[in-house]
Structure 1
Amino acid sequence: MTTFYNNTNPSNGSGYYCKFNEEFKYILLPVSYALVFFIGLALNATALYVIVFRTKRWKPSTIYMFNLSMCDTLYVLTLPFLIYYYADENDWPFGEPFCKVIRFLFYTNLYGSILFMSCISLHRFVGICYPVRSLYWLSARRARLISVAVWACILFCQAPILYFSRIRDVKGGRTCYDTTSPELFDDFLVYSSIVSVLMFALPFMVVMVCYGLMVRKLLEPGWASGGGEEGERGGLSAQRSKQKSVKMIIIVLAAFMLCFLPFHLTRSLYYSFRYLQQINPAQVSCNLLEASSVAYKVTRPLASANSCLDPILYFLAGQDARSNLTKKVKSSTSKQSCASQHLTTQL
């Protein structure tokens, strides 16, 4: 049972408050986070292995995918602590400093995934729509500089989480706030709104515009045509590039529409209703506040599931990744076959 007060000092027993049942999250969040942890860790570890050990030449897209995989890996590594916390029904045993670190890493890598997916989308957009200019703009050196700038932006924007994240002893346990303590909620709402606009809404709009222009370019009749033998080779290369672009568009849009958009919409609604009820309890009923809270908590696992989608983006949209992984599998199979033949000969 969760109690929500509209004043900053609920211990005095005054003020309007709501009570609603959130027992479902003690099953939903641990189970969903556990699935994301095991699946996401396996997929991202495989992606990192292929990038680091099986990729000889790092292209700009490889650099962005490496950073994206790092974000996802660091993100899923925070989940075991949250699994324990929610399975133990909101009883945080690790202390306030570690609560701050976990919340900071959780949101840092969540928004890192959004920004690096946007970088991958912009990279493909320039290559498709401005192929001549891409020869100058799409270099590995520029990709590294952009990646450093993205990390700096993420760390700067998420640093206030280290201030807002708090723990508080409540009846039955110790809460590690997903938002902040009640007395700081108004300030947190302003901060959260700014971050949502800068690190989700703006990248989402940029990605949508880029994909709209990419689709229009890919649908042009003469985009992949050419004459003669050289033209045929160029046409095949363009066709492969087109297929990779279409796969990337589908996966990235799925991640934004299924994972990030519901999470940010329901969170914004919940925060807004909570703020409005603090100002004037008559404006927002407890039932409406409870419904928005339930919707927000249901969509949190969807945001986490993005960590499982990102490696699929790498393996499906990257021909080099598939070929490197295939070579590794064939090499292992060949070694096993040779060992078996050698053993048979000796026997």
Structure 2
Amino acid sequence: MANNTASDCIETDIILENYYLPTMYSIEFILGLVGNVIAICGYIFCLKDWKSGNIYLFNLSLSDLIFLCTLPRLAMTYANNKKTVSSSYFSLSNRYILHLNLYSSILFLTWISIDRYLLLKFPMRQHILQRRSAAICICLLIWVLVTLQIVPILTFINNNDGNSTEFNDYASSGDPFKSLIYSLSLTVTGYLIPLTVLSIFYVKIATFLKIKDSQFQHAVSFQRPRALVCLAVVIFLLLLTPYHVMRNVRIALRMRTDYTKCTVILINSLYIITRPIAFLHSVINPLFYFLMGDRFREALLKKIRGVFERSSEVEMEQI
């Protein structure tokens, strides 16, 4: 009976890596690519007057698109049982881009929340942080800061297996003790601190909108933007928290050898499940571009209507 249980655990683990990960990454690539390409094209071709919030959203979209471009090969790698005939450059570059996207997205979303709050407090954009030059400098600082923050992760990835490269995730590579220290530090500085700041400003936004809602006595309803703000925080917590918890648990598990094989497989399986869920933000983010960016939404819809109207005119002329 014990052997059968171990066998079932091993089979579950293999199925998740060979089928669940490729399927989820493929879906994320297709949906995320469409949404982010539309967003980037909308900013470049439709939006003429860029505000600070547009700059943050554009950089967030760019970060998501760069990451999404790595997913097809990543899905193929897992479908081939983590074997790929290439140098270790792919492993390093993929892990770098993956974590760059994850932690830069968190910071961009944090600054978007700050920018939205400042817009409510200073609708005429008198605050220095609402200037385009300030937004550009902050975005550059975010790229540099996150790059420096995740460079150490490359030292923990060791993938050598003869003529081929075995593709291991960060939590399954390197010295577990050093890796755990770094992972915990990254969780605090890259996730928990930005999450706290983001939550504080979203609470400020929700409180401000609630006060305004009561002042206008339903003449103007702020329930929709308030619900959107709360939804953003909830989605953030649901997508990213399980991944960070299970990543640290997975690394800590490697430091001990007294666990049963089935327990190891179970924890590893839970960690595998959380990984693509964490990166669903690349698919969901374009919805926030559309819902939060009023000018962007209007410009994009105007451009789309113009394209359809021109197409109709051409068809009428041909008839």
Q: TM-score range by the shorter chain?
A: 0.7 to 0.9
On the 8 A contact 1:247/1:317 being kept in 2, the answer is no
Distance in 1 (CA, whole Å) between partners of 2:213 and 2:173 is 60
Verify: 1:303 aligned to 2:294, yes or no.
Answer: no
Match in the other structure for 1:186: 177
Gap change, CA 1:247 and 1:192, over 3 Å in 2: same
Give 1:274 deviation, angstroms.
Answer: 2.5
SS of aligned partner of 2:49: coil
1:260–1:303: 8 Å Cα contact kept in structure 2? yes
Unaligned runs of 5+ in 1: 1-18, 227-234
**Is residue 196 of structure 2 the alignment partner of residue 196 of structure 1?**
no
Q: CA deviation at 1:251?
A: 4.4
**Counterparts in 2 of 1:122 and 1:173: CA distance versus 1, 3 Å:** same
List per-residue Cα deviations over 1:138-182 (Å, max 9, x = no partner).
111111111111111011111123322221218x96412212775
200, 204, 209: which one pairs with 2:200? Answer: 209
CA shift digits 1:12-58 (9 cap, x unpaired): xxxxxxx9442122100000000000110110000000011110011
Distance 1:334 1:176, change over 3 A: same
Question: Is 1:95 equivalent to 2:75 in the alignment?
Answer: no
User: Greater shift after overlay, 147-156 or 285-294?
Assistant: 285-294
Separation in structure 2 between the aligned mates of residue 64 and residue 295 of structure 1, nearest angstrom = 33
Alignment of 1:168-179 (within 5 A): 168-169=160-161, 174-179=165-170
Number of aligned residue pairs: 309
Q: For the Cα contact (< 8 Å) 1:100–1:162, is it kept in 2?
A: yes
Q: Contact between 2:176 and 2:251, CA under 8 Å: does it hold in 1?
A: no
Cα-to-partner distance string for 1:78-124 (whole Å, 9 max, x where unaligned): 11121111000111222112211111111111211111111111111
Higher relative contact order (CA 8 A, sep 6+): 2
* Bigger mean CA offset, 266-275 vs 308-317: 266-275
- Coordinate RMSD, CA, aligned: 2.6
CA distance in 2, matches of 1:158, 1:221: 41
Gaps of 5+ in 2: 1-8
Cα distance in structure 2, aligned partners of 1:247 and 1:52: 29
**Percent of aligned pairs sharing the same letter:** 26
Paired residues of 2:246 and 2:270 also in contact (CA < 8 A): yes
CA distance in 2, matches of 1:224, 1:89: 60
Q: Supply the AA of the counterpart residue of 2:204.
A: L
Which range moved further: 103-112 or 264-273?
Answer: 264-273
Verify the 8 A CA contact 1:244 1:318 in the aligned structure 2: no
- The residue that corresponds to 2:151 in the other structure is 159
Instruction: Report the residue type matching 1:110 in the other structure.
Output: L
Aligned residue in 2 for 1:288: 263
* Residue 120 of structure 1, aligned match among 98, 112, 132: 112
Q: State whether structure 2 residue 247 is matched by structure 1 residue 256.
A: no
Please give the alpha-carbon distance, in whole angstroms, between the structure 1 residues aligned to 2:225 and 2:145.
Answer: 27
Q: Is the 8 A contact 1:165 1:179 kept in 2?
A: yes
Is the alpha carbon distance of 1:336 and 1:221 closer, same or farther for their aligned partners in structure 2, counting shifts above 3 Å? closer
Amino acid at match of 1:187: K
Answer with 1 or 2: which has the greater Rg: 1
Equivalent residues of 1:126, 1:134 under 8 A apart: no
- Tell me, yes or no, if the aligned pair for 1:90 and 1:173 is still in contact at 8 Å: no
Moved more, 56-65 or 106-115: 106-115
Give the direction of change, closer, same or farther, for the CA distance of 1:184–1:125 in structure 2 (3 Å limit).
Answer: same
